[in-house]
Structure 1
Amino acid sequence: MPSNSTKILLLTTLMSGVLVSVSSNSWLGAWMGLEINLMSFIPLMSNVKNMYNTEASLKYFIVQVLASATLLFMVVMKTLTEDLFTLDENAYTPMIICTPLLLKSGAAPLHWWFPGVMEGLSWENCALLMTVQKAAPLMLMSYLIEINTFTLSIILMSTVVGAIGGLNQTSMRKILTYSSINHTGWMLIALTMGENLWMAYFMVYSTLALTVVSAIKLSGASFINQTMMTNKEATLVKFMMFTSLLSLGGLPPFLGFLPKWIVIQAMIMNSLAPMATLMVVTSLITLYYYLKISYSSFMILNTEPKWNLSSYKSKKTSNTKALTLSSISLTGMMVCTIIANIY
């Protein structure tokens, strides 16, 4: 929890904005919730001492305002041209209203702002942008989304862009960005199957994203080539970071595989086996670039520069938090399987 009272207030209003959006029974109320959420997140992002933070917050503000204005315009136009309670009668209405929400959540092909914004943020804000900020738009989409050509093409583009885009990246933030785009595709297909499935996927993904971010922050690495040069004493931090990354990629023994397994099963039951195959292939590509990061350290290659002194020695509380989260990531699937077999 941040010690700064302003940050605590902003985080509270940010969460209340999400809750207003999710619990609203009108599109105007949902839009208001999204705006409260946006106005709380911008001050958290911007920092007068860091030019990159300010640039990222400006980019994010412009994109989100464009999406919010489009959403409000579309909803007002639809209520003027049609009866208020017959929005679902027109086949194009869900597509039109979902588009600004897809822009807000950073799904492909409306993901162009996402890598640039993530690159300029602190790790805490990166975690918020990948998890909390996706909750409200995805929940609003669940009211409209259905399995059709538009939805399936968005899902396929998100998974492919997330997989291919991360291959040539060296920045850890950009790799996590493209991973998030790939997971957004999985969450969208989970939404079409039911809200419970999406909730399960989103909770697991949020836990794993927080685990990865806390472990990377402890290691002090911002780029792939810095992962080999972390402090020799920080072996546990390295282990946490790489196992968490593999879990986020969906490697079977870890918790990250569980929601994907459930989604794949649901897709096969809904006669979407070809789509499931394509999504699994793209998921394997994301796993490849996670392995690319962790391969050198798994092979016990280690070089430590002389200037790598006590600067990376982390606080005990941060270590405990990251260790707890990574233990959930490592053992979560086994625990869930045991509980399922007992009941």
Structure 2
Amino acid sequence: MPSNSTKILLLITLVSGMLVSVSSNSWFGAWMGLEINLMSFIPLMSNVKNMYNTEASLKYFIVQVLASATLLFMVVMKTLTEDLFSFDSNLYTPMIICSPLLLKSGAAPLHWWFPGVMEGLSWENCALLMTVQKAAPLMLMSYLIEMNTFTLSIIVMSTVVGGIGGLNQTSMRKILTYSSINHTGWMLIALTTSETLWLTYFMIYSALALTVVSTIKLSGVSFINQTMMTNKGTTLMKLMMFTSLLSLGGLPPFLGFLPKWIVIQTMITNNMIPLATIVVVTSLITLYYYLKIAYSSFLILNTEPKWNMMYHKNSSTSNLSAVVLSSISLMGMLACTLITNIN
């Protein structure tokens, strides 16, 4: 929890904006909630001491304002040209309304702003951008989204871009960004089938993303090559970080495989075998670049330079929270299986 009272207030208004947007019974109210959410997140992002934070907040502000203005314009235009209460009269209406929401959530091919913004943020803001900021646009999309050619192309592009885009990255933030784009494709599949399934996927993904961010922040790593240079004393941190990454990638023994397993079963039940094949293959690609980080640190090389004598000090609270989150990602699937069998 941040000690600064301004940050606490901004976090409260950020969550309040998301709740207003989700619980609103009109598109204008949903738009207002998105704007409250945006205006709370911009001050959290910007930092006068860091030029990259300021640049990232400006990029994010411009993109989100573009998406918000487009959403408001589209909603007003549709209500003026069609029925005020129903959006079912036109085939293209869901596509028109969902486009700015897809831009807000960072789904491909509208993801161009996402890696650049993530690269300039602190780890806490990265976690917010990957989890909380996606909730309201995806929930609003659930009112209109259906499996058609437009949605299918967005899902395929998101999973493919999220898989291939992270292969040549060295920054941990950008790797998490492309992983998030890949997970957005999976969440859109879950949205087209069931809101409960989407909520399950989103909650587990958010928990895993928070786990990864908390462990990476503790180890003080920003790039892949730094994972080889960490102290021998931080073996537990490294173990937690890589098991959390593999869980986020969807390796079967971990919790991250559970929502993907449910989505795959749903796709097979609905005869979407080609789509299931594409998303599983792209998910394996994301798993590959997580394994690449783990192999480079654990198996191939483990060096410690002479000048790296300072042990990375952290508060015991941060250490405890990272250990608890990591144990959930490690043992969560086992716990879920036990609960299901008991019931």
**Structures share fold, TM-score greater than 0.5:** yes
Q: Aligned residue for 2:141?
A: 141
Query: Take 2:49 and 2:167, find their aligned partners in 1: how far apart are those partners?
Result: 32
Q: Aligned residue for 1:267?
A: 267
The Cα offsets for residues 266-296 of structure 1, whole Å up to 9 and x where unpaired, read as: 1111111110011000000000000000102
Provide TM-score, normalisation by structure 1. 0.99
Letter in 2 for 1:294: A
Q: Aligned residue for 2:166?
A: 166
Q: What is the SS of the residue equivalent to 2:221?
A: coil
Q: Aligned residue for 2:3?
A: 3
5 Å matches for 1:119-158?
119-158=119-158
Gaps of 5+ in 1: none
Letter in 2 for 1:335: A
Q: Aligned residue for 1:192?
A: 192
Report the Cα offset of residue 89 of structure 1: 1.8
Provide TM-score, normalisation by structure 2. 0.99
Q: Aligned residue for 2:285?
A: 285
Using the TM superposition, name which of 170-179 and 83-92 deviates more: 83-92
Query: Take 1:118 and 1:306, find their aligned partners in 2: how far apart are those partners?
Result: 32
Q: What is the SS of the residue equivalent to 2:66?
A: helix
Q: Aligned residue for 1:204?
A: 204
Using the TM superposition, name which of 137-146 and 316-325 deviates more: 316-325
Q: Aligned residue for 1:339?
A: 339
Query: Take 1:12 and 1:309, find their aligned partners in 2: how far apart are those partners?
Result: 40
In percent, how many aligned pairs have the same letter? 85
Q: Aligned residue for 1:67?
A: 67
Q: Aligned residue for 1:26?
A: 26
Asked if 1 retains the 8 angstrom alpha-carbon contact of 2:166 and 2:175, the reply is yes
Count of residues in Structure 1 that have an aligned counterpart in Structure 2: 343
Letter in 2 for 1:291: L
The Cα offsets for residues 7-41 of structure 1, whole Å up to 9 and x where unpaired, read as: 00000000000000000000000000000000000
Q: Aligned residue for 2:233?
A: 233
Q: Aligned residue for 1:217?
A: 217
Report the Cα offset of residue 312 of structure 1: 1.5
Report the Cα offset of residue 231 of structure 1: 1.3
Letter in 1 for 2:84: L
Using the TM superposition, name which of 299-308 and 6-15 deviates more: 299-308
Query: Take 2:24 and 2:311, find their aligned partners in 1: how far apart are those partners?
Result: 47
Q: Aligned residue for 2:177?
A: 177
Q: What is the SS of the residue equivalent to 2:229?
A: coil
Report the Cα offset of residue 309 of structure 1: 2.8
Query: Take 2:275 and 2:234, find their aligned partners in 1: how far apart are those partners?
Result: 41
Q: What is the SS of the residue equivalent to 2:228?
A: coil
Report the Cα offset of residue 311 of structure 1: 5.1
Asked if 1 retains the 8 angstrom alpha-carbon contact of 2:219 and 2:238, the reply is yes
Report the Cα offset of residue 185 of structure 1: 0.2
Report the Cα offset of residue 316 of structure 1: 1.2
Q: Aligned residue for 1:87?
A: 87
Q: Aligned residue for 2:98?
A: 98
Q: Runs ≥4 in structure 1, deviation > 6 angstroms?
A: none
